[in-house]
Structure 1
Amino acid sequence: MSMSISVRPARKSDAAEIALLVNIAVHGSVAKGWAQDKQAEGTYEPLEVGRLEMLKDDTPFGWRSAFMAEADDEVAGMLLGYRKPDAREPVPVNTWAPMRPIQELEAEAHGRWFISMLGVHKTWRGKGIGSVLLDHAEAQAKNTQARGQALVVEDANAGARKLYESRGFSVTASRPMVPFPGTPQHGSDWLLMVKE
């Protein structure tokens, strides 16, 4: 019996699930930043700060840019992505140091559909969820007339790199990592991978 995987646009009510999958996608690193955020006071949980971030309507990094993969009546994974403007956008001066190299690489993805996050729950990995989400990203790139797709990945994330390379992505730029406070570093460079 084959498993049915569907992808749907996220709803506002998915904000907590999106925050969780964003944190999974970056191996727990982003929750460290959320814990230090001024919004964290009184939340008792860094992922609550992430949920509040995902609820924002005025940013591409929120629920409106997410797509949820569902299988067996549950959320199995999430894709967060958006069409980058054709003109290159400068990286804000006050960008948090660990995020600066990532933001610099993202800035080079102008004109492309940018896969900001792709997260899959542990029990669903290796079951085709990531491939279905990448198919959806490709459809979004075509629908928005992007000149291709782009994403940023750690050099040490061999499994993800292999998946992306099998889908036609190749490395076009890199930046040295700046460690996230209190989180072990898994590689030495962030890589921009592009599919024209």
Structure 2
Amino acid sequence: MEAVTTAQPLAVDQIHTNAILLESGPVTIRYLSDTEEDREFAAKVTIEAFERKVVHATSRGSIPDIQVYYANSLRGRQPTFYERHFIAEYDGQKAGSCVIRYHGDRELFPLRDEDMPPVGCTDMCGLFCMGLAANFEIYIAGKCCVDHIGVNSEFRGKGIGKVLLDMAEIDAKRKGCKAIYLYVATTNRAQHLYERQGYIIKERRTICCCGYWCMTGEREFARMEKILEGDKENC
């Protein structure tokens, strides 16, 4: 078992994006910073994690444009935004990312039209459909949502996903959340990781006969949840 070290919560004016929040062996976790390098990495690893859905909604040739869109969406945000985004490093190399959300964050961090690079009508329609699917994933009051998590293909199998999930739980507990949850396609092997972390399936969702398939290329999603014991802020 690797030793795990966590930092004490920082006041907003003390937060430094390069400060280590969690350390487990060669894996360290910090906040995302508003730098081109961090934005491009987070976009790359996120689109890589959702490549199948992105290609289904748009096309493989559109992936570079979608990465630009995601990177742009991380630029020039308020400090709280970056506290919801974690970057994992393995022996000092960026290896993964995780994004968490709380109730009210959809309004706090709205989508911005100016972030979207010029794309064709077909791709725009596909992204709109993906957005509709995402809107079915509500942020429940009193709970933390793992919005998405991804590990660079070069670093998979090294426990990075587990440490990112540990960090999400630490943040949720600090805010007094009673549970943490996520949505995952029922065909996704990552379910096994979530089960090992203590998540259990609370519900399965489909839309009509092929609604999710049309939007994302997946037919069914599961909401998995883990009970926490928070004792600080109100989540």
- Cα distance in 1 for partners of 2:79, 2:27 equals 28
| Equivalent-residue separation in structure 1 for 2:129 and 2:141 (angstroms) | 21
Whether 1:173 aligns to 2:203 is yes
CA deviations 1:74-97 (Å, max 9, x no partner) are 111001112225xxxxxxxxx933
Identity fraction in percent: 23
Number of positions where the alignment pairs a residue of Structure 1 with one of Structure 2 = 173
Q: Deviations over 1:89-123 (max 9, x none)?
A: xxxxxx9333334422334x332111011100111
Look up the equivalent residue of 2:179 and give its one-letter code: G
Sort the Cα spacing of 1:153 and 1:28 in 2 relative to 1 into closer, same or farther, 3 A: same
Unaligned 5+ residue runs, structure 2? 3-24, 105-126, 207-211, 228-235
1:105 aligned partner, one-letter code: E
Superposed, which structure 2 residues align to 1:42-191 within 5 Å?
45-55=65-75, 57=77, 63-85=82-104, 96-107=128-139, 109-158=140-189, 160-176=190-206, 177-180=212-215, 185=217, 187-191=218-222
Q: CA deviation at 1:59?
A: 11
TM superposition shift of 1:28: 4.7
Q: TM-score, normalised by structure 1?
A: 0.75
- Paired AA for residue 7 in structure 1: I
SS in 2 for 1:45: helix
Distance in structure 1 (CA, Å) of the matches to 2:141 and 2:58 = 27
Shift of 1:168: 1.3
Give the conservation status (yes or no) of the 8 Å contact 2:183–2:222.
yes
- 1:55–1:63 Cα contact (<8 Å) kept: no
Contact between 1:172 and 1:191, CA under 8 Å: does it hold in 2?
yes
Matched-pair contact (CA < 8 Å) for 1:81–1:113: yes
- Write the distance in 2 (CA, Å) between the matches of 1:6 and 1:124: 13
CA contact (8 A) 1:18 1:63 kept: no
How large is the RMSD of aligned CA atoms in angstroms?
A: 3.0
In 1, distance between residues paired with 2:79 and 2:58? 17
Take 1:156 and 1:139, find their aligned partners in 2: how far apart are those partners?
Answer: 28
For residues 93 and 44 of structure 2, the distance between their equivalents in structure 1, rounded to whole angstroms, comes to 14
Give the partner amino acid of 2:166. Answer: D
